[in-house]
Amino acid sequence: MKGKVALAVGLICAGGLVLTACSNTSATEPVVIEQKVIEQKSVEAPERDPVMQQWVDQAGLNPCPVGVENPDAAIPGLPNIELPCLGDGPPVNLSTLRGIPLVVNVWASWCPPCIEEMPILAQAARELEGTIQFIGIDYQDDPARGLELLTVMGVDFPSVFDPDAQVRAPIAIPGPPVTYFVTPEGVIAGRWDGSITSEQALATLIETYLGVTW
């Protein structure tokens, strides 16, 4: 897996993408964030040219989750924002995701710490399938580069795409990576700023905030 990480970093460097926007904050104590009320925003899925569709097909991401209609309010909860699915699938309104514990990871292809934690998140998503839903938010990124990275890293849990950083203010993102732990009722129970550096660290966060032993 270290080889995949090195290859992914090499792809980023070769692409000449800016790295300075990536959060350089080390992991801190998880904290519960304050809910902010915003107006609903909706964006259309990006146009799929042949090259883009090729990356979608090669990535083979699992379908994006479908939310529920008119869910009960969750405070603090994910924002009432609809984002396009990075793979094949309908847009996702983050505020409507209910029924199963949720791990939401904010990442980008230009962010080395995001790449470093991807194998840990991907393994957890596979082992906890049916118990916890993992979903990524590809943040201020080029979707083709994001799909390329997921393909190289062998990540198959779904992601949505936020090119304009709509989620930044509502859930207080300093820069990726950030990971949120959301209850089946839609309440954000905790968050982790910075890279998750080990399976044990992720297991502790999941047990602490979602009550699931991994």
pLDDT digits (tens, 9 = 90+) for 145-156: 999 999 999 999
2-210 CATH: 3.40.30.10
Which 8-state DSSP code applies to residue 153? H
pLDDT at 52: 61
Closest CA to 115 of 83, 145, 86: 145
One-character DSSP codes across 38-91: ---EE-PPPP--HHHHHHHHHH-PPPPPP--SSPPP-SSB--SEEE-BSSSS--
The stretches in the chain having pLDDT less than 70 are 1-60
Query: Parallel, antiparallel, or unpaired for β 102-107 and 41-42?
Result: unpaired
In whole angstroms, give the CA distance from residue 7 to residue 3.
Answer: 6
**Helices 112-127, 143-153: crossing angle, 10 deg rounding:** 60
pLDDT at 88: 76
In whole angstroms, give the CA distance from residue 206 to residue 181.
Answer: 7
Q: In what order do the strands lie in the sheet with 178-182?
A: 159-162, 133-139, 102-107, 178-182, 188-193
* Structural domain spans, the chain: 2-210
pLDDT at 8: 57
Alpha carbon distances (Å) from 202 to 28, 107, 119, 122:
13, 16, 12, 11
Average per-residue pLDDT for the chain: 82
Identify the burial level of 31 via C-beta atoms within 10 angstroms of its C-beta, where 0-12 means exposed, 13-18 middle and 19 or more buried. Answer: exposed
pLDDT at 62: 82
pLDDT at 189: 98
pLDDT tens digits for range 18-69: 333 464 444 444 444 444 433 444 444 445 566 666 656 666 678 899 999 9
Task: Report, in angstroms and rounded to the nearest whole number, the Rg of the chain calculated over CA atoms.
Answer: 16
